[in-house]
Amino acid sequence: MRKITIAIDGYSSCGKSTLAKALAAKLGYNYVDSGAMYRVVTLYCLRQGIIKDAVFMREEVVKALDRIALSFQYNASTKASDTYLNGENVEKEIRQMEVSKNVSHISVLKEVREMMASIQREMGKDKGVVMDGRDIGTNIFPDAELKVFMTADTDIRTRRRMDELTAKGNTVTFEEVKKNLLSRDYEDSHRTENPLRKADDAVVLDNSDLSREEQLDFVLKLVYDLKLLDQEVKDPKAV
């Protein structure tokens, strides 16, 4: 089966990365977490005092981009890639609430998006990739063979995110997490540059009541359906 590009977009904490990782593992594809990249830039700006409580000077952030080297390295114990900022493993730090509270403000900036987009397109240029984010199917890979748009009930998403944060030792309240999710959804959907929206050709997956296995089966079926389609229409002129 030829390698394809799979774009998974959707609202915050819908389980995009869980599904994307499982799918990539099943297909032997690379998984790319595009949100982690925006989180790295945000973490750098927080550490440098360039952004504080969502207040920042655009020029300072743009200047900082030249000082940020982003990379991913496979971690055999978690069987997933960790995110690195200038050679430092920041996988844990980028998931903290402080980063989540500021990331949507940084990700509206055109210059930031352009830098992330060029890294993302380079990472996916050979296909065989599952990338999740907000603009993968609409902007990064508009020609992706398979696009999934994920959504789920807000309270369910909040509970899942809370469980994740609590498991990592963070103390957060349900209301704090819910407020952050809703405000990120709003910011992500209403920004001028590449807002979050469903691509016209994306398949909607509402996973409110679906187990991880059911979600994986749902998408795998879409992938295998594509394979059949490829064989049928491989060379329509030859028929």
Interface residues toward ligand DC, by CB under 6 A: 12, 34-35, 38-39, 103-104, 107, 133-136, 184, 188
Q: Based on the number of CB atoms within 10 Å of its own CB, is 239 exposed (0-12), middle (13-18) or buried (19 or more)?
A: exposed
Sign of CA dihedral 150, 156, 162, 165: negative
- In whole angstroms, how close is the CB of 57 to ligand DC at the nearest point? 20
For 124, the token pair is: 């996916």
- In whole angstroms, how close is the CB of 42 to ligand DC at the nearest point? 8
- Which of residues 91 and 145 has its CB atom nearest to ligand DC in the complex? 91
- Which of residues 136 and 223 has its CB atom nearest to ligand DC in the complex? 136
Query: Nearest-CA neighbor of 131 among 31, 14, 26?
Result: 31
Question: For 173, what's the count of Cα atoms within 13 Å in the CB-facing half-sphere?
Answer: 3
CB 198 within 8 A of CB 148: no
- In whole angstroms, how close is the CB of 135 to ligand DC at the nearest point? 5
- In whole angstroms, how close is the CB of 237 to ligand DC at the nearest point? 37
Cα dihedral value 54, 18, 150, 211, nearest 10: -130
Q: Based on the number of CB atoms within 10 Å of its own CB, is 200 exposed (0-12), middle (13-18) or buried (19 or more)?
A: exposed
**Cα 160 from Cα 155, distance rounded (Å):** 9
- Which of residues 119 and 216 has its CB atom nearest to ligand DC in the complex? 119
- In whole angstroms, how close is the CB of 198 to ligand DC at the nearest point? 14
- Which of residues 157 and 219 has its CB atom nearest to ligand DC in the complex? 157
Q: Based on the number of CB atoms within 10 Å of its own CB, is 117 exposed (0-12), middle (13-18) or buried (19 or more)?
A: middle
- In whole angstroms, how close is the CB of 101 to ligand DC at the nearest point? 10
- Which of residues 27 and 103 has its CB atom nearest to ligand DC in the complex? 103
Residue in the block written with tokens 């300072």: 60
- Which of residues 10 and 231 has its CB atom nearest to ligand DC in the complex? 10
- Which of residues 133 and 223 has its CB atom nearest to ligand DC in the complex? 133
- In whole angstroms, how close is the CB of 238 to ligand DC at the nearest point? 39
SS3 33: strand
